[in-house]
Amino acid sequence: MIIQNTHIEINLKNLEHNLNFIRSKISEKTKILCVVKAFGYGSEPIEIAKRLEDNKVDYLAVAYSNEGIELRKSGITTPILVLHPQTDDFDEIVKYQLEPNIYSFRILESFLKKSGNLKEYPFHLKFNTGLNRLGFSFSDVEDIYKKISCLQSVKIKYIFSHLGASEDFNEKDFTQNQIKLFEKISEKMSTIFQENFKKHLLNTSGVMNYSKFQYDMVRTGIGLYGYGNDDKYEKFFKPVLSLKSIISQIHEIKKGDSVGYNRGFIAAKDTRVGIIPIGHADGISRSFGNGRSSFIINGMKASIIGNVCMDMLMVDISKIQCAEGDEVIIIDSNSQNADQLAKQNSSISYEVLTSLSNRIKRIFIK
């Protein structure tokens, strides 16, 4: 039966498959942190988190504190790392027992002001090893020690960093230099604090390509949702999310007729046009229009014509046997996955998945 509206299907069995594949690449002693930020990479964070918790993952991670709070309110008890906390977040981070990433002295000062009455509240300490986004520097270790060594209110649970090109073997030297710097930082931290800290460094591609450096925990985001960032690993992953729609209406237009806003498409010949109820408000960017991208209808490609509208778009179905109400596949695991759709528009699977609007109906395949 074809569902007669635009919807996302979330296959939780595929999620478990991907989790188990990633686990097969690491030691049984290595913990696993699963990233559920950005609305679960466009799927749905609560059901994803619940299934991951059922599978006894060690950690979840979100970008911002409100994402973690939503998970706590839904009953999730697994430790949650907040990757990008802001200075105003710490009251609620403590209230909901989230673990912040402390990445700068400004953020550290805000955290310490809110932790005075606490006992060994856990946090993760991030170091910049070359990605040059968030993180302390190697030269900051002594000052970090001076600020927290005498405090009983907080405790470093992990030190970590983030690889910038672990999927790209053309950047192998860069990645190896990041790893060397992280080990140098780890050694300095251990020497100054007189403590061996637990560590995490690897992301999904890091697990696939640099598993020797899995340390105490690894992180996985895009891999959980079915993408390995490498053609040789794609066959082992199963996309979790499928995006489907229908043909709402069909028009037969004549040569010279136009389609859509600003007459974005002018028919060079008589053309059969299908109207699809999904648009840029749903996450299909305007940049996908005007022939740059296509969807799948009855096994054939239907190119987007004209400008993508807010709530709908138009496709050329002149060569496709189809009718109003027929299914349109935008993303699935067989016809066209998110990576393949993204490449049509010089984008990446992350952007396609995380752009999908919350207004699209979600259906769970359990």
Strands 265-266 and 258-259: antiparallel
Whole-number Å distance between alpha carbons of 188 and 106: 22
Q: Is 93:115 a contact under the CB 8 Å cutoff?
A: no
Whole-number Å distance between alpha carbons of 311 and 282: 7
CATH number of the domain where residue 281 is located: 2.40.37.10
pLDDT tens string 332-353: 998 999 999 999 999 999 999 9
- The DSSP bridge partners found for residue 258 are 266
Whole-number Å distance between alpha carbons of 36 and 219: 11
In a domain, 59, yes or no: yes
Last residue of a domain, one of 204, 227, 250: 227
Average pLDDT over residues 162-172: 94
Average pLDDT over residues 78-89: 98
Kindly state the DSSP code that residue 344 receives in the 8-state scheme. T
User: Active-site residue among 95, 184, 261, 343?
Assistant: 261
Whole-number Å distance between alpha carbons of 131 and 165: 9
pLDDT tens string 8-61: 999 999 999 999 999 999 999 999 999 999 999 999 999 999 999 999 999 999
Is the model's pLDDT at 117 over the cut of 90? no
Q: Identify the domain containing residue 308 by its residue range.
A: 241-365
Specify the pTM. Answer: 0.95
Please provide the DSSP assignment of 74-91 as one string. Answer: TT--S-EEESS--TT-HH
Is the model's pLDDT at 1 over the cut of 80? no
Q: Are residues 84 and 186 in the same domain?
A: yes
Residue 232, pLDDT score: 81
Residue 234, pLDDT score: 84
pLDDT tens string 242-257: 999 999 999 999 999 9
Is 254 one of the catalytic residues? no
User: Active-site residue among 37, 114, 126, 238?
Assistant: 37
Residue 208: φ, ψ to 5°: -70, -40
Residue 89, pLDDT score: 97
Average pLDDT over residues 309-316: 98
Is 261 one of the catalytic residues? yes
Extract long-range pairs of 198-202: CB within 8 Å, 24+ residues apart. Answer: 198/157, 198/158, 198/159, 199/158, 199/159, 199/160, 200/31, 200/33, 200/158, 200/160, 201/160, 201/161, 201/162, 201/163, 202/163, 202/166
Is the model's pLDDT at 241 over the cut of 90? yes
Domain total in the chain: 2
- The DSSP bridge partners found for residue 253 are 271
In a domain, 233, yes or no: no
Is the model's pLDDT at 5 over the cut of 70? yes
